[in-house]
Amino acid sequence: MKDLAIIILNYNSFDDTSREVNALLKENCDEKSIYVVDNNSLDKNKIAEFGAQKNINYIISEKNGGYAYGNNLAIRKAIQDGKNFFLLLNPDIDIDISTIKTLYNDLQEHQDIAAIGPRICYRNDHHKIYSDGGLLYPEKGFLGAHTHFNLNRSDVHISHYNYQLDYVDGSVFMFRKELLDEIGLMNEKFFMYYEESEWCLRVLRKTRWKLAVNTSLTAFNTYSEKGSFYEYYMTRNRLWLCRLYNGNLKYVKKERWKLARKAFKKGDFALAKAYVKGIINGLYSKL
C-alpha cells in the first residue's frame, strides 16, 4: 500500500490522534503513509513534536478551515508524494491494518467503485451498528440517516457489499485519485458536516462511479453529544445542499423554525440562535 495516504485531522484531539497513529504503527503501518493535519488547534505544538518523533507526515495549518479544508491540505500534499489512494480517518476511530488493506484491495479489484468504507460500530458496544452506509432524503431537505443505525449486528442480514447508500461516512472513507480528476476536492465552504455528503452527491450525480460499504469489515467510533455549534452547521449546510441539488427547502425551514421556537421556550437561547442563524445563512449566503 505504498501509494495509500492515511489522513487524520486533528483539532484539540491529541490523545485520540496519537492513540490512533501509535496503533497503526504498532501494526507495522509505513510511517510515510500517515498524514496528520492540525487545524490550528491548541495541540499544534504537540502534534509537530509527535510527528517529528514518529517520522510521519504532519501539517500544521495556520487557520482552522474546517473538515474539508484540513483534509484537502493533506490530500494535495499526498498527491505531490505520488499517492493514488486516500483514507480519511477521524481521530476517534478504531481500525486495524487488515481492514485498511481489505478496503484498499476492494478498490483495486472493483474498478467501478470510487469510494468505500467499512461497517461502523460503537467503540463501547462492538455489537451495535452505527452505520452500514449514509442515506440522504432530498424530499425532507436532505435529512441524513444511516443504514441499520443502532441495530444489533446479529439482527442484520445484508450482502457483502452495500451499494444502496448516498454517501460513505466521512469518519472512515477511502477513495481513489481518479475521482478527484473528475469532480475535484471537497467543498471547503461547508466547514463542518455534510462535506462528504455533498462530495458523494457529486459522485453519484455527475459520474458513473459507485459508492460502497464493505459490511464484512468493521471500524469503531465514539458517539458524542451535539450542541449549538453542531445545530448551526447542520441547519445551514442542509439548506445549502437543497439549493445546490434541488432539495426541499420548505421542509428544512419548517423543521428548524420549530426547533428554534422549542429551544427558545426552554430558555436555551444559544441553541435557538444557532437554528435561526443557520436558517438565515443557509438561505441567503452566497454559495
**155-174 per-position pLDDT tens digit:** 998 889 999 999 999 999 99
Nearest to 175 by CA among 187, 162, 185: 185
Asked if the model's pLDDT at residue 271 lies above 90, the reply is yes
* C-alpha cell recorded at residue 112: 467501478
Sign of CA dihedral 51, 57, 59, 65: negative
**215-253 per-position pLDDT tens digit:** 999 999 987 778 899 999 999 999 999 999 999 999 999
How many whole angstroms separate alpha carbon 122 and alpha carbon 218?
A: 10
Phi (first) and psi of residue 152, to 5 degrees: -75, 140
How many whole angstroms separate alpha carbon 261 and alpha carbon 263?
A: 5
Instruction: Output the pTM of the full model.
Output: 0.94
Q: Which residues pair with 214 in a beta bridge?
A: 118, 161
Asked if the model's pLDDT at residue 116 lies above 80, the reply is yes
Q: Which helix (H) or strand (E) holds 243?
A: helix 228-245
How many whole angstroms separate alpha carbon 22 and alpha carbon 213?
A: 26
Mean pLDDT of the chain: 95
Sign of CA dihedral 192, 287, 244, 203: negative
**24-82 per-position pLDDT tens digit:** 999 999 999 999 999 999 999 999 999 999 999 999 999 999 999 999 999 999 999 99
pLDDT of residue 233: 96
pLDDT of residue 287: 86
Instruction: Output the furthest CA–CA distance in the chain (Å, rounded).
Output: 56
Give the confidence band of 118 by pLDDT, cuts at 50, 70, 90.
Answer: very high
Q: Over pLDDT 70: what percentage of the chain?
A: 100
How many whole angstroms separate alpha carbon 200 and alpha carbon 211?
A: 8
Cβ-contact 70, 37 below 8 angstroms: yes
